[in-house]
Chains A and B, each alone.
Chain A
Amino acid sequence: MSGMPPELPTRRDEAWRWADLRHAERFLGTPPPANDALPETDRLWLDLAGPRALFVAGQPVGATAQAPAPDRGMPRHPLADLAAANASAGTRLEVAAGEDAGLVQLLHIGRGGAAHGVTRVVLGAGARLTLVESFADEGQDHWLNHRLDAELGAGATLVRVSRALAGRGLVSDRAAVRMGAESRLAHLSLGLAAGALRTEVEVLLDGPGAHADVDGILLGDGGAALDSLTRLDHRVPGTSSRQRWRLVAGGTAQASIAGGVAVARHAQKTDAEQSLKALLLQRTAVVHLKPELEIFADDVACAHGCTVGELDRAALFYLATRGVPPAEAEALLTLAFVADALAGLPEGALRDALDAETRDWLVRRTGGAAA
């Protein structure tokens, strides 16, 4: 980096009011220390077939991978711009028209300092790709800053899971997706990080008939600070989107979602729905919800619903009368609560694996038997 150090956003910026960027401030301009040891990654991959690539502290393991040029057409963004300027390696996934590239897993490991990464996806007409990007660490403080730029051709389908597993530090991941006519996006942000997380999804629905499911599950415990932001930008007539976010916070965790829907002038027949729900497990935890609608067209169906509350006491009692102990009943109801957010993913092994991962977290959290 040269010249003036870049400015990080602060909580005075509306889009960052709930973000915890202390690790970004601390590690800005600090590269990770040299360390050639290979990390233990077995339990970090999802047990699914398909090509895998591993990045440790921003560097590829076992292969060279130049950082792809970012998509200059995407909206400017302070952290994504930093990632583009600083990434020394990355992944370009280009799928030709009509082809199905199956499932690809990328695993990013943070290891002290700041590591930047870029993934660029280009899907031709009718092409399909499922991409799981996971973010983890080895217990050291760090900052993993990642950017995904995806361009979906007409009728293309992208399934992407952003899976934050880090135990410490900060993971910031921003996905920017431009969608062509009749294309499909299913995006899930799974926030299981124990440190700080900023997960962001901006979708430009540029082609008629495009449909995006942008969902999230944020499970925060201990002192986790899980922050998310979406913007679904409906820019042409006849596009649709669904957002389902489920937040669970215990301990002194903070979980937040600022979910945005924007409908441009003339983007008639837009159909957009947001459902944001949160459960607080303890009085020391905090949740923030901000479901925002910005609408400039009149013939649209836009709605959002939000709830925050406890588990349904009548349902807990009903389970108890059938012999289910309290901890298990809580886990079962909590699982049902978050399971909605998996509905946007296609049925199959990936969804099952994520369902199991969510269940494991809840079981660990409640100490109850497997529901």
Chain B
Amino acid sequence: MLEIASLHVTVDGREILRGLTLSVLPGEVHAIMGPNGAGKSTLAHVLAGREGYDVTEGTARLDGADLLAMSPDARAAAGLFLGLQYPVEIPGVSNLLFLRTALNAQRRARGEPEISGADFMARVRAEARALGLDLEMLKRGVNVGFSGGEKKRNEAFQLAMLQPRLAILDESDSGLDIDALKVVAAAINRFMSPDRAVLLITHYQRLLDHVRPTHVHVLVDGRIVESGGPELALRLEQEGYERHAA
């Protein structure tokens, strides 16, 4: 599904990713772990197409299509979702209008009909209930006045509503108390299916107690230095990243 080969990325002339290679198949949950500054968020942002990241070498393909040649919205329409570490506030645009606009834009791009108001609201109610989000909150501006935990739940809510094929979740667990963490983890587990995949980017093991990864990678200094199964995450939790220090 996602094929990243020898990816080099610079930000402001500084090389952050230095030849990253990764392959994710449908049905897999990959966790990318690593110390601060290893390039985790850069990977998430460059895959989603944020400005300011220069790919100097390498490729990234989603289902065979050249991801790096696509605009951010085209990537979303192709099935990629980025859950942001710091979700943006947009005063004046309600969460519901935001989501419906996004959903319909993606449907149009894929040649599908737009969703009816009734169907949309029915799904909103169901997913909001599952994530413990108040409907009144969703009528307010996007993320405006939301706590850190509410913003993360809102990201999970968007994931559930937009139904992408590949979800890249950047530090989705930061700033969450244990109850909220369980809610977000449940949303991720609910989202997973044999034809979808998840890339979890996290500093800590604790989300992985609730979302079981199929693969764990250690990202240090812009490269994946070690890969393994879930047991690797447990070992990292105990040992830290010292073994990988350059």
Contact = CB atoms under 8 A, between A and B. Distances in A.
Whether A and B touch directly in their complex, counting CB atoms under 8 A apart, is answered as: yes
A29 to B, nearest CB: 46
B90 A333 contact: yes
B50 interface: yes
Contacts of A329: 73
A313 B88 CA distance: 10
Nearest to A320: B72
Nearest to B102: A322
Given A322-B76, A336-B91, A317 B51 contact: yes
A339 interface: yes
Interface in B114-133: none
Contacts of B87: 318
Contacts of A324: 73, 76, 101-102, 105
Interface string B82-112: 1010011111110001110111011011000
B92 A340 contact: yes
Interface SS of chain A = helix
B149 to A, nearest CB: 19
B158 interface: yes
Interface residues of B, number: 34
Nearest to B48: A321
Given A315-B90, A318-B84, A336-B91, A323 B71 contact: no
Contacts of A320: 49, 71-73, 76
A332 B93 contact: yes
A27 B48 CA distance: 57
Interface in A310-350: 312-315, 317-326, 328-329, 332-333, 335-337, 339-340
Instruction: Report the 10 A-B pairs with minimum CB-CB distance, sorted nearest first.
Output: A336-B92, A323-B76, A320-B72, A322-B102, A323-B106, A318-B88, A336-B93, A320-B73, A324-B105, A315-B90
14 contacts: A312-B88, A315-B89, A317-B72, A318-B84, A321-B82, A321-B84, A322-B98, A323-B105, A323-B106, A323-B109, A328-B101, A333-B90, A335-B93, A336-B91
Interface of B: 48-51, 71-73, 75-77, 81-82, 84, 87-93, 97-99, 101-103, 105-106, 108-109, 141-142, 158, 162
Given A323-B105, A339-B92, 14 more contacts: A315-B88, A317-B50, A320-B73, A321-B49, A321-B76, A321-B82, A321-B84, A322-B102, A323-B103, A323-B106, A323-B109, A328-B105, A332-B93, A333-B93
